[in-house]
Amino acid sequence: MDPVHRSETQDSGGDGDRFDVTSWVSVCPRGLWKVQRRRTHKRGQQTTYNPEDDRSWLSSAYPRLGSLCRVRVCLKANLDETGCPVSDEGDEKLSIGSDQPITELTEVPARAFQRCQGSVLQVPLDDWTMLRLGEGQCDITEACVEGMRAEEQCEILLSPLENGPEGSVPQPTGDNQPLCATVELHSFTPGKESWQMSPGEKWEWVRLHKERGGERFRNGDVWGASDSYSRALKLLITLHSCISEVERNGPGQKMEEQKDTNTCDKQKLAADSLVPSIKAELHSNLSLCQLKLNQPQRAKASAAKATQLDPTGAKAWYRLGQAYQMVNDLEEARRAFGRLLELQPDSPAAQKALKDVASREKEKNTQLGLRLSKMFS
C-alpha cells in the first residue's frame, strides 16, 4: 500500500512544547489502519534543517533502506482529552547499549519473525528488537521509524478502517478498537536511498519482496502480499532504467553482479528483456491480491499492465476478465477470457468463464427486455 502522509504542527500551550503530527494509512494482516504519529519537541530543540545541508547528510540523519534499527514498541493505556497518546512523566533512559557504537549493530542480526494475523504492530512489545528497514515485516512500525532520529521517541494512535479504497473490505471479528503505543528508536546503521543503490542491490530487494509476497499470500496475509508486490514494483521501475550491459540467462535465473560495482554498465544482470516479464508477473500477482481485497478497479489496472508487458501471460488475462466481471463490463470480460482461450485452447477455467459471461449477458438482456416491455405496455 502507498501511505498518504499528512503533517501539521501544534503548540501545546505556554510551556513552549511543539507537537509534529503526521497521519497516514498503513497495512497489517488484519487490514487497513489509520496511523497518527505525534512527536514532542521541547523549547529550543531544533525541528528543521539548514537548507544548505547536503544530500548525503540528510540521508544519514534518518534510517534508510537496509538500515538495521534497534526499536522498542510499548502499548499505552491512557489517552488525553483530544484522543492522542499521552507521554509518561519523565524521560526513560534507554535500557541497553547506550554507549554502544552504532557500527556494532551490524554484528546483531535482524529479528526473524512471522507476521501474525492477530497482531497490528507485528513486533514483540516492551522489548528491544532489531529490524531491517524496507523489508515490510511490520509496516506501521517501519513507517514510524523512517521519520525518526537515533534516541528519539514518538507516540502513535492506531484506528481501524472499516472500508478499503473500493467498497467494503470485511474486517475480522475481534478487538479492533483504537490502540495507543510509543515507538523508540535507539540507534541504526546507515542505509541507502534507491538512487544510491547498484542494480544488483536493487534486484536483491526485488527478489526478496517477490518471494515474501508469495509466502504471505499462501499464509492468507493478502494485505501483506499486496504490500510486498508493490514494494518490488517500485524498485523494479528504477532498476530497469539502470541496466546497460546484460548477460542473457533466461527466465527464473538469478541476476548476479560482478565484483566491480562502480557503474551500472559493469553489472552483469539477466537479460534486459527479463525485467518486463518479472514486472508483468508482479502486476499479475498484485491484481490477484486486489481481487481478493474487493478492489476491482485496481485489479483491472494491474492486470491490464501485466497483459501489456507480457501478452502471453495466461494468468493475467484470466484476472483481467475477473476484474471486468466484478465491474459488470461483460463485453470486455468476454474479450479477456477469449484471449485466454486462444492461449490455452483446452483451459477448463477459460471455457467455464466464457460460459458464465454468456449466461450473465443472457440474463442481462432478458431483464432489459422485461423493462422495455413494461415501458411500452
Boundaries of every domain in the chain:
6-45+58-192, 199-370
Position of cell 549493530?
Answer: 105
**pLDDT for 268:** 41
Q: What is the pLDDT of residue 329?
A: 94
Q: Please give the pLDDT value at position 88.
A: 40
Classify 179 as helix, strand or coil: strand
C-alpha grid cell for residue 8?
Answer: 501539521
- Looking at residue 166, what is its pLDDT? 54
Q: Give the global pTM.
A: 0.76
Say whether 358 sits in a helix, a strand or coil.
helix
Residue 239: what pLDDT? Answer: 75
Q: What is the pLDDT of residue 193?
A: 86
Q: Which residues of the chain have pLDDT under 50?
A: 1-5, 7, 9, 12, 42-58, 78-103, 167-174, 243-271
CA angle 31, 35, 41 (to 5 degrees): 165
Is residue 101 classed as helix, strand or coil in its secondary structure? coil
**Residue 344 to residue 129: CA distance in whole angstroms:** 49
| pLDDT at residue 80, rounded to an integer | 44
R_g over Cα of the chain: 25
Q: Return the CATH superfamily for domain 199-370.
A: Tetratricopeptide repeat domain (1.25.40.10)
CA–CA distances in Å: residue 277 to residues 21, 198, 214, 233, 369: 41, 21, 17, 12, 45
pLDDT of residue 276: 87
326's grid cell? 466484478
